[in-house]
Amino acid sequence: MYHHGAHVIDWTPRGFDPVLWMSEKTYLDSEFAIRGGIPICWPWFGAGRDGVSSPLHGFARLAEWRLVRSHHTDDAVGATYILIDSNLDKFDSPYRLTYHVSFGTEFSATLTVRNTGSRRFTFEGALHTYLRVGDIREVTLVGLDQAVYLDRVSGHELGPHRQEGDVTITDETDRIYHSLGDIDVVDPRGGRRITVSRTGSQDAVIWNPWMEKAATMPDLGADEWTQMVCVETANVAEHAVTLAPGKEHVMGFTLKVSTLS
Ligand code: BG6
C-alpha cells in the first residue's frame, strides 16, 4: 500500500495468485494516479456531475494520506489512513476521510466520509478496484442481470439501459450499473471466482478499455488490458451522496476468492 492516494496495490491470499491487477507501466510519481490496485476516486467521479471537474476522478487518489493505525492478528493485517481538508480550493467544505483496509483470507476496504463543516455538501465516490483475470474475453460477471445501467463509452447511447443476463466483455466497456448485490467475477482461465460484496454503494462501475483505447494509454503495457476488469464500489451521478454537518457516510466492499470447480 502507498501513502500516495492510500493506494492498495496488492492482495494475494494464501494459495492464490494476486487478486488485484497492477499495470507494468504504471507511473509511480506523486503527480499521477497509480494504474491498478485500488485508486480512491473522491469527491467526484470522472469529470464530475458538472462534466468539467479536474483532476479526473477527484484529488483523493493524488493526495498524500496519513497512516494513523496499523495492526495485525494471526489472520489479517489492517491499516487506517486519513485525509483531512486536502484541496479545499477545489472542494470548499471541511471534511474528514477515513480509509480502513484489512488483508487476510478476505480483503475489505471501507471509506468513511465525515462532514466536519457547518453546511451540507455533496460528493461522488468510487473504490476503483482493478481485478486480475486470466483472459477478460472469457470472463463472466454474474449478479447484474436486470440491473439498469448508463453506458459511458463515447459514441454509445448513454441510456438508461437494462442488463439482460450476465455481463460478458466483448468490446470497450464503461458502465455504471445501479446495483446493490454481490458481483461474481467468474474467470475460467484463472480457474477462480472473485466475489465483490458492497455496502453503502448504489452503483457498480464496470470498466475495461479494450484494445484500441488501451493502445492510447501510456501507463498500460501491450495486451495488459486482457488481464483486468474494474468492478468499482461507487456512488456516482444521481447517487451522489449529500451529507449534513456532523454526519458520516460509509461505503465499502469485501473481496473473496474461491477455486472454480
Ligand atoms: C473508469 C471510468 O472508472 O475509470 C472510465 O468509468 C475511465 O471512464 C477509467 O476511463 C480510467 O480512468 P483514469 O482517469 O484512471 O484513466
- Spell out the SS3 assignment of 201-220: CCEEEEEECHHHHHHCCCCC
Q: Average pLDDT of 175-180?
A: 98
- The residue with cell 477462480 is 192
**Model pLDDT, residue 201:** 98
Q: Dump pLDDT digits (tens) for 236-255.
A: 999 999 999 999 999 999 99
Q: Dump pLDDT digits (tens) for 185-232.
A: 999 999 999 999 999 999 999 999 999 999 999 999 999 999 999 999
**Model pLDDT, residue 143:** 98
- From the list 135, 127, 151, 155, the residue with the least C-alpha distance to 229 is 135
User: What is the best residue among 35, 57, 152 to mutate for testing ligand 1's pocket, by most ligand atoms within 8 Å of CB?
Assistant: 57
Instruction: Name the band, by pLDDT with cuts 50, 70 and 90, for residue 261.
Output: confident
Pocket of ligand 1 (CB under 6 A): 33, 46, 56-57, 128, 152, 174, 205, 207, 230, 232
Please give the C-alpha separations between residue 192 and each of 109, 132, 185, in angstroms, as whole numbers.
21, 11, 8
Q: Which residues contact 162 (CB under 8 A, 6 or more apart)?
A: 146, 147, 148, 149
Interval between CA 46 and ligand 1 midpoint (Å) = 7
Q: Average pLDDT of 128-139?
A: 98
Residue 119, classified by CB atoms within 10 Å of its CB into exposed (0-12), middle (13-18) or buried (19+), is exposed
**Model pLDDT, residue 139:** 98
Residue having the nearest C-alpha atom to atom 6 of ligand 1:
174
Count the Cβ atoms, other than its own, within 10 Å of residue 151: 16
Active site (catalytic) residues: 128, 232
Please give the C-alpha separations between residue 156 and each of 57, 177, 220, in angstroms, as whole numbers.
21, 15, 24
- From the list 30, 237, 254, the residue with the least C-alpha distance to 124 is 237
Q: Average pLDDT of 104-117?
A: 98
242's grid cell:
449529500
Classify strands 148-151 and 173-178 as parallel, antiparallel or unpaired: antiparallel
Interval between CA 180 and ligand 1 midpoint (Å) = 21
CA torsion 20-21-27-32 (nearest 10°) is -60
Q: Which residues contact 211 (CB under 8 A, 6 or more apart)?
A: 225
Please give the Cα distance from 102 to 250 (Å, whole number): 16
User: What is the best residue among 128, 154, 217 to mutate for testing ligand 1's pocket, by most ligand atoms within 8 Å of CB?
Assistant: 128
Instruction: Name the band, by pLDDT with cuts 50, 70 and 90, for residue 30.
Output: confident
Q: Average pLDDT of 118-127?
A: 98
Q: Average pLDDT of 176-192?
A: 98
User: What is the best residue among 34, 56, 154, 236 to mutate for testing ligand 1's pocket, by most ligand atoms within 8 Å of CB?
Assistant: 56
Interval between CA 76 and ligand 1 midpoint (Å) = 30
Q: Dump pLDDT digits (tens) for 83-109.
A: 999 999 999 999 999 999 999 999 999
Please give the Cα distance from 99 to 41 (Å, whole number): 12
**Is the Cα torsion angle 23, 28, 33, 37 positive or negative in sign?**
positive
**Model pLDDT, residue 104:** 98
The ligand 1 atom at the shortest distance from the C-alpha of residue 128 is 3
Interval between CA 192 and ligand 1 midpoint (Å) = 25
Residue having the nearest C-alpha atom to atom 14 of ligand 1:
56
As a whole number, the mean pLDDT across the chain is: 97
- Answer whether residue 54 shows pLDDT above 90: yes
Count the Cβ atoms, other than its own, within 10 Å of residue 44: 26
